[in-house]
Amino acid sequence: MRHAQGRARRAGAALAAVLTWAGLLTGAVGCTSAGTGIGGVFGKPPTPEEAIRISPDDGSRGVRPGKRLSVRVSDGRLESVKVVRSRDARHTAVPGRISADGLRWEPEDERLALAARYTVDVVALDGRGNRSTRHATFTTHVPDERFIGYVAPENRSVVGTGMIVSVEFNRKITRRAAVERAVTVTAEPPVEIRPHWFGRDRLDFRPEHYWKPGTEVTVDLRFRDVEGAPGVFGLQHKRVSFTVGRSQVSVVDAARKTMKVRRDGELLATVPITAGAPKTTTYNGRMVVTEMLDVTRMDSRTVGFGGEYDIPDVPHAIRLTYSGTFLHGNYWAEEDVFGRSNVSHGCIGLRDVKGGGADTPAGWFFDRSLVGDVVEVTGSKDRTVAPDNGLGGWNMTWKEWRAGSAAE
């Protein structure tokens, strides 16, 4: 697909590892092959907002603790409701219950936590048996002019060698040097790690080259009482650690319509793909897996297109950019498309079956991937992906990266 210009705020990109069905995202971005007539195949389902009501509203910020969290449908029944609360890099499932009539879900604890991000994923069936999904996020009030940072990857995770530590702030940071000095990222075995600011609300860290497999990385946030902006002080003093797993780098050649998958330098497979069509090309450059979804909804309207497609059940979806580049399973294109034609709206498609097959190319690749793995695209007639569109910092030289520090 052609990507939206502004990157979506995805401060908890790795939160997907906590949710088995976090992939059932309503309004998730994505792409499909041009001219497939998806509307004719799938019909026109009711909008997620019509089918499923979530309160507080999706995207709400600074929600006060007195606001009630609820999920409801007007008819049919709720099939699944999963809510996760993220605070201080800790992710906790929020217990709740669906009412006996299936129309409402409410948490056991009615009071919202302060300084937290909530993620809500819902699956519901309407009165005609049609399945609808919604994904919503909101953040709660941070008292007394405080700022906090949301860290990726999540605590105690195992990630690929291309993982970039990313801290996104809930407020604009104007005293960036002070905040930067309050973050320490260390590795064992030791390696030089440097920070880079993207605007005033995101601070990333990486080494000069990809991490060595087996590296243990620790992120210390010492924001408490640090003044990030006039009168705005930090709230956190927390530690996050993660482990770097095996090395996997996959190179997509958009011109040849293939993807070579290498594990620890050895070629595992050459997989036929379909990339962006001539009018909706795929970004070039090195991208990092930030999210892995068993199934998700892809709607062309969320990325600036019209109603070209709206697919409720795209399988094996691997997010590569915040603007909506995915590597995903494709069951609607003809089999001879893969390896021969580029027909997508900017994503990278692998052959799959409806519902997702374990023995398909898409299922095979999904089962062998980690958040933090690198997917590099070459041969596309498009520009290089922006460094802040996802974890694209590997597309900067080491000199350029180091120049992004505010404290040096």
Residues annotated as catalytic (active site), given as ranges: 328, 347
CB–CB of 279/371 below 8 Å? no
Alpha carbons within 13 angstroms on the beta-carbon side of residue 5 total 0
CB neighbour class for 338 (10 Å; exposed up to 12, middle 13-18, buried from 19)? buried
User: In sequence order, what DSSP letters do the residues of 280-344 get, joined into one string?
Assistant: SPPPBEEEE--EEEEEEEEEGGGGT--SS-EEEEEEEEEE--TTS-EEEEE-SS-GGGTTT---B
Query: How buried is residue 305: exposed, middle or buried, by Cβ count under 10 Å (0-12/13-18/19+)?
Result: middle
Task: Give CA separation, 253 vs 257, 268, 346, 362, in Å.
Answer: 6, 16, 14, 17
| Among candidate residues 158, 149, 288, the one with its CA nearest the CA of residue 220 | 149
Q: Where are the alpha helices (DSSP H) in 105-242?
A: 176-181
Residue type, 67: K
Closest to 102 (Cα-Cα) out of 123, 133, 128: 123
User: Among 260, 273, 330, which Cα is nearest to 30's?
Assistant: 330
- Biggest distance spanned by C-alpha atoms of the chain: 61
DSSP 115: S
Q: How far is CA 213 from CA 169, 243, 305, 373, 406, in A?
A: 29, 8, 40, 12, 29
Rounded Cα distance between 355 and 331, Å, is 9
Q: Could you tell me the end-to-end alpha-carbon distance of the chain, in angstroms, rounded to an integer?
A: 39
Residues in Cβ contact with 128 at an 8 Å cutoff, skipping those fewer than 6 apart:
76
Q: How many CB atoms within 10 Å of residue 378?
A: 13
CA 188 to chain centre: 27
